[in-house]
């Protein structure tokens, strides 16, 4: 089938590439001329595991093409809208890009088109889109509007598209439902060549859920908001664990064994980030307000998350006492591993707070440094975790990259100014890192130190509380 995808961000580019991978003839449009030029030259504008390989395969097979929105509108019988819907100052989603695509379709397209919302949009956007097309169409356009929310996780988007647990489509006609079923049939039947695994573990019967458009639009916001709520809940519990001397990892394990709860998204830490959860929670709150529904629960979810970086800074202050003039190393800048996305990343807010406190910040991330430089130019970017840790008074773990699990801690101990690790993702057990001679502070668990005063290569480490005790005795 000839399919168009308008927008080549994380969602649009993954959608276009994967639709081509399962056999469709896809035209992907991008309005950013620099990004479009890169795509046409075979250069990836973003990092997403396996995506570059899928695009390369599809282009060699002449099933994936890049160009303008006008060309895309002429090309596809089905048109996926995958443009950005960033938050406005009041929390509403900015739908100006959606409106722009709708206007272009109405003015240019003729014959039948299935117009599919893939972007995350407020409920009833589909109804508004349908009315807009009806009023503005000038060339005898015959159309259906459908909602097909994406559930792609950055870092595993290709696998999520090709091996989904569910495909949700919101339609108002049998014609639209049938066409979407045809588009996704290779995924539903798991009949395609998997570019990720040579021995592909096919998923079992992904659910193809057909709803009305408004319900489909709500499913996306409700899903992301619920997952955000789980994260904020376990972070709230982590605070209580620290206050009473409990271990949040054991509490989360015990909770997760209940099949009604499950273990996913019960990992405490410095808070959620990225472009989806913060934006979607805010947008869902605004949607509810406009419908006169009380979503104060989600306001608390957002409030808890917004406070996480401040609490983490307080942990740093509690260990270093005086932050001004100290060197801190940040490991991880992306909001999660396996992506270069730094939008709303806790590491960015943390680094800015530490700079405001007068600290010197060095940072390392395997793939996100270039994008971080655009929003965080005043820190030192390092080639690896060791360089970032050189002379540091504290190592801060902010993104749980797998490579951090395989570092030489003996080497690190000889490089740092103070052997202190503050882990914002609970990557390690306290016993493991303290066994290497470091004081280890994490989230929702008791800290660990090898001894009241640890000595490494002639360097003495004392906690901030010990320094305060000395100062008070001298006074």
- Judge whether 416 and 389 are in contact, CB under 8 Å: yes
What backbone torsions phi and psi does residue 116 show, to the nearest 5 degrees? -115, 120
Helix (H) or strand (E) holding 394: strand 394-397
Residue 360, burial from CB neighbour count under 10 angstroms (0-12, 13-18, 19+): middle
Report the interhelical angle of 296-306 vs 277-290 (nearest 10°). Answer: 150
Give the residue among 264, 268, 251, 178 at the shortest CA–CA distance from 223: 264
- Judge whether 226 and 265 are in contact, CB under 8 Å: no
The answer to whether residue 194 is catalytic is no
Q: In the beta sheet, which residues pair with residue 209?
A: 168
Sign of CA dihedral 395, 400, 357, 446: negative
Other C-beta atoms closer than 10 Å to the C-beta of 107 total 14
* Per annotation, catalytic residue among 82, 241, 276, 382: 276
Give the residue among 422, 202, 248, 412 at the shortest CA–CA distance from 323: 422
Give the residue among 400, 86, 429, 91 at the shortest CA–CA distance from 270: 400
List residues with catalytic annotation. Answer: 276
């Amino acid at each position: 089938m000839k399919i168009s995808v308008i927008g080549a961000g994380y969602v649009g580019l993954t959608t276009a590439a994967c639709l081509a991978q399962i056999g469709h003839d896809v035209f992907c449009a991008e309005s950013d001329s620099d990004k479009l030029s890169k795509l046409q030259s075979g250069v990836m504008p973003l990092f997403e595991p396996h995506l570059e390989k899928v695009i390369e395969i599809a282009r060699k097979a002449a099933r994936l093409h890049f160009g303008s929105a006008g060309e895309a509108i002429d090309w596809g019988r089905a048109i996926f809208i995958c443009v950005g819907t960033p938050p406005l100052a009041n929390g509403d989603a900015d739908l100006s890009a959606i409106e722009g695509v709708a206007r272009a379709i109405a003015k240019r397209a003729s014959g039948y088109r299935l117009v599919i919302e893939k972007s995350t949009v407020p409920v009833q956007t589909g109804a508004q889109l349908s009315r807009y097309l009806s009023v503005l169409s000038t060339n005898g356009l015959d159309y259906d509007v459908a909602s097909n929310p994406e559930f792609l996780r950055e870092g595993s988007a290709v696998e999520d598209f090709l091996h989904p647990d569910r495909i949700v489509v919101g339609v108002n006609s049998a014609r639209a439902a049938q066409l979407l079923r045809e588009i996704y049939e290779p995924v539903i039947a798991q009949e395609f060549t998997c570019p990720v695994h040579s021995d592909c573990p096919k998923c079992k019967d992904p659910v193809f859920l057909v709803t009305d458009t408004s319900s489909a639009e709500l499913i996306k916001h409700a899903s992301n908001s619920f997952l955000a709520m789980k994260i904020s809940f376990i972070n709230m519990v982590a605070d209580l664990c620290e206050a009473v001397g409990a271990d949040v990892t054991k509490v989360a394990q015990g909770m997760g064994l209940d099949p009604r709860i499950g273990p996913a998204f019960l990992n405490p830490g410095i808070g959620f980030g990225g472009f989806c959860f913060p934006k979607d929670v805010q947008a869902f709150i605004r949607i509810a307000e406009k419908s006169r529904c009380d979503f104060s629960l989600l306001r608390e979810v957002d409030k808890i998350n917004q406070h996480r970086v401040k609490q983490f800074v307080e942990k740093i202050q509690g260990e270093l006492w005086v932050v001004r003039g100290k060197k801190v190393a940040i490991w991880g800048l992306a909001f999660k591993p396996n992506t270069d996305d730094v939008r709303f990343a806790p590491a960015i807010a943390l680094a800015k707070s530490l700079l405001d406190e007068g600290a010197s910040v060095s940072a390392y991330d395997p793939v996100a440094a270039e994008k971080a430089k655009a929003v965080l130019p005043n820190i030192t970017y390092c080639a690896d975790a060791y360089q970032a840790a050189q002379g540091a008074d504290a190592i801060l773990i902010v993104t749980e990259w797998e490579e951090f699990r395989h570092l030489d801690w003996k080497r690190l101990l000889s490089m740092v100014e103070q052997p202190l690790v503050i882990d914002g993702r609970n990557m390690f057990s306290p016993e493991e890192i303290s066994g290497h001679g470091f004081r280890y502070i994490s989230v929702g668990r008791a800290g660990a130190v090898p001894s009241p005063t640890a000595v490494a290569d002639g360097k003495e480490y004392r906690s901030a509380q010990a320094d305060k005790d000395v100062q008070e005795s001298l006074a």
